[in-house]
């Protein structure tokens, strides 16, 4: 099962390696991991996407909680939540492809944020699925480069992850 774990961790040097080291040492999967400081600069927030049986995910959250620098851990995929990922894709855009790419990007609500006479850079945010389908909709031979941020997640409604 796929799980999305959000955590708050003291923003100290080495914090990231404590978390990533835990996953590699215990053989847990990491599909993606994003991290950045929060509005309180002494804290960082991470979103980790992982897969595993219920028992394994239970151990993952317990082990994360056990890290001395970790302040809070929530498996946000246990209830209603929102996931977003950012995609930047550079495509070859010449001749009649330029119009076609622009149209596809519009359909997916992407933005063209860099233009040369031979290429576009398109920015798109959405769920993992949406980004996958957008890339699928582009002509693969035109894709020059892609970069994805990994997932950020947040609970819906009143649920707040805060100190």
Partner 1 sequence: MMLSGAEIVVRCLQEEKVEYVFGYPGGAVLFLYDELFKQDQIRHVLVRHEQAAVHAADGYARSTEKVGVALVTSGPGATNAVTGIATAYCDSIPVVIISGQVPTAAIGQDAFQEVDTVGITRPCVKHNFLVKRVEDIAPTIKKAFYLAASGRPGPVLVDIPKDITAAKCEFDYPKSISMRSYNPVSKGHQGQIKKAVQLLMEAKRPMIYAGGGVVLGNAAEPLTKLAKLLGFPITTTLMGLGGFPASERQYLGMPGMHGTFEANMSMHFCDVLLAVGSRFDDRVIGNPAHFAEEPRKIIHIDIDPSSISKRVKVDVPIVGNVAEVLEEMIRAVEASTRRPEEDTLATWWKQVDEWRRRDCLKFKHDGDIIKPQFVVQKLWEVTNGDAFVTSDVGQHQMWAAQYYRFDKPRRWLNSGGLGTMGVGLPYAMGAQLAHPGSPVACVTGEASIQMCIQELSTCKQFRLPIKIVNLNNRYLGMVRQWQQIFHGGRYSESYMDSLPDFAKLAEAYGHVGLRVDKAGDVEDALREAFQRKNDLVFLDFQVDPTENVYPMVQGGKGLTEMILSAEDL
Q: Using CB under 8 A as the criterion, which residues of the chain lie in contact with partner 1 when the complex forms?
A: 9-10, 13-14, 17-18, 21, 25, 55, 58-59, 62-63, 65-66, 68-71, 163
Give 9 or 93: the residue with its C-beta nearer to partner 1.
9
Give 2 or 62: the residue with its C-beta nearer to partner 1.
62
Give 63 or 149: the residue with its C-beta nearer to partner 1.
63
Q: In the bound complex, what is the minimum distance in angstroms from residue 65's beta carbon to partner 1?
A: 7
Q: In the bound complex, what is the minimum distance in angstroms from residue 6's beta carbon to partner 1?
A: 15
3-state SS assignment for residue 132: helix
Give 21 or 113: the residue with its C-beta nearer to partner 1.
21
Give 109 or 162: the residue with its C-beta nearer to partner 1.
162
DSSP strand E in 11-142: where?
Answer: 32-37, 43-51, 70-75, 81-92, 111-115, 119-126
Long-range contacts of 131-134 (CB under 8 A, 24+ apart): 131/85, 131/87, 133/108, 134/87, 134/89, 134/104, 134/108, 134/110
Q: In the bound complex, what is the minimum distance in angstroms from residue 10's beta carbon to partner 1?
A: 6
Q: In the bound complex, what is the minimum distance in angstroms from residue 32's beta carbon to partner 1?
A: 22
Q: In the bound complex, what is the minimum distance in angstroms from residue 63's beta carbon to partner 1?
A: 5
Taking alpha carbons only, the member of 30, 13, 19 closest to residue 150 is: 30
Element (H, E) at 18: helix 15-25
Between the CA of residue 98 and those of 6, 11, 109, 127, what are the distances in Å? Answer: 39, 44, 16, 25
Q: What is the DSSP letter of 87?
A: E
């Amino acid at each position: 099962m796929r799980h999305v774990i959000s955590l708050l961790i003291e923003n100290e040097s080495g914090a990231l390696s404590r978390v990533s080291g835990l996953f590699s040492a215990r053989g847990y999967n990491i599909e993606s991991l994003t991290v950045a400081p929060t509005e309180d600069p002494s804290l960082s927030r991470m979103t980790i996407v992982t897969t595993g049986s219920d028992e394994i995910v239970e151990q993952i959250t317990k082990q994360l909680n056990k890290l001395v620098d970790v302040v809070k851990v929530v498996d946000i995929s246990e209830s209603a939540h929102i996931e977003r990922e950012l995609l930047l894709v550079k495509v070859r855009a010449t001749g009649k492809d330029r119009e076609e790419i622009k149209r596809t990007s519009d359909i997916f609500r992407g933005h063209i944020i860099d233009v040369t006479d031979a290429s576009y850079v398109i920015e798109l945010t959405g769920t993992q699925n949406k980004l996958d389908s957008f890339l699928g909709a582009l002509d693969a031979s035109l894709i020059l480069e892609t970069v994805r941020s990994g997932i950020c997640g947040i609970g819906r409604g009143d649920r707040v992850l805060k100190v």
